[in-house]
Structure 1
Amino acid sequence: MIGVFVTFRYGDNFDERAVRTIAETARARFEGMPGLRSKAFTLNSAKREATNFYVWESEDAAKAFFTDELRDRVTGLYGVRPDVEFVQIAALVENART
C-alpha cells in the first residue's frame, strides 16, 4: 500500500467554508474508485492548510492518478498548487463498521 499527502498551503486567502464545499462536492467522485482504498479531506485552519490523504492499493495506481493534468486541475479548484508526497504505509488499522 502507498499513501499520498496532497497539501494545499494558503496565505491570507484561506477560506475554510470554500474548502469544505470542495470536499463535500468531490467526495462522491472517489467512492468506489478502483485502486483507492480510502481518502480523507482534512483542514488545519491554524496553519491555513488543507490536506487530502489517500490510501492506494498500489504505487502504480497512485502514480497513474496524480498526473500533471490532475495537479493543474486541482490547482484551479483549490486556488493554490498542492505539494504531493508519496509515502510507504508500513501498517494500517481500519476499524470501519458495516
Structure 2
Amino acid sequence: MITTIVEYKLPSALTRGEILEKFKAAQEKFIHTKGLLKKYFCYNSSDATGTSVYLWESLSCAEAFFTSEMLHAFEKTFGCRPEVRHVDTLMTIDNVTDEVSVFHA
C-alpha cells in the first residue's frame, strides 16, 4: 500500500466552510478513481495550509493520478502548487474496525 501526502499553502486563508465547499466540488474526481482506497481532506484555517492524505493500492496507481495536468488543475483551483510525497505504508491500525494490517512488498 502507498500513502500519498499532499501539502499546500493557500495564497489567502479561507474559512472552514469555504474550503469545505471547494472539497465537495472536487469529490467526483476521486470517487471510483483506479486504485484509490481512501482520501482525507484536511485544512488548517489558522495558517491557510491544507493537507490531503491518499491511500493507494500501489505506487503505479498513485503516480498515474498525479500527472502534470492534475497538478496544473490543482494550482488553477487553489492558487498554489502542492508538494506531493509518496511513501510505502508498512502497517495500519484501525480502531473503528479493530483491525491491524501489515503490508508486504
Whether the 8 Å contact between 1:8 and 1:78 is mirrored in structure 2 is no
Runs of 4+ aligned residues of structure 1 deviating over 3 Å after TM superposition are: none
The 3 A distance-change label for structure 1 pair 76 and 34 is same
Whether the 8 Å contact between 2:8 and 2:82 is mirrored in structure 1 is yes
TM superposition score normalised by structure 2: 0.80
Which has the higher relative contact order, 1 or 2, with Cα contacts under 8 A spaced 6 or more apart? 1
Hey, what does 2:13 align to over in structure 1? 14
- Following superposition, the deviation at residue 80 of structure 1 comes to 0.9
Q: Which runs of 5+ in 2 are unaligned?
A: 98-105
- Following superposition, the deviation at residue 30 of structure 1 comes to 1.5
Q: Which runs of 5+ in 1 are unaligned?
A: none
- SS class of match (2:81): coil
Hey, what does 2:101 align to over in structure 1? none
Q: CA offsets, 1:8-63, max 9 Å, x none?
A: 1134x121333211111112331222200000100112232011110000000001
The number of aligned residues is 95
Hey, what does 2:30 align to over in structure 1? 30
The 2-side partners of 1:46 and 1:15 are apart by 9
Greater strand content: 2
TM superposition score normalised by structure 1: 0.85
Whether the 8 Å contact between 1:3 and 1:56 is mirrored in structure 2 is yes
- SS class of match (2:52): strand
- SS class of match (1:61): helix
Find out whether 1:74 has 2:80 as its counterpart.
no
**Letter aligned with residue 86 of structure 2:** F
Whether the 8 Å contact between 2:5 and 2:85 is mirrored in structure 1 is yes
Q: Among the aligned pairs, what percent are the same residue?
A: 28
Hey, what does 2:3 align to over in structure 1? 3
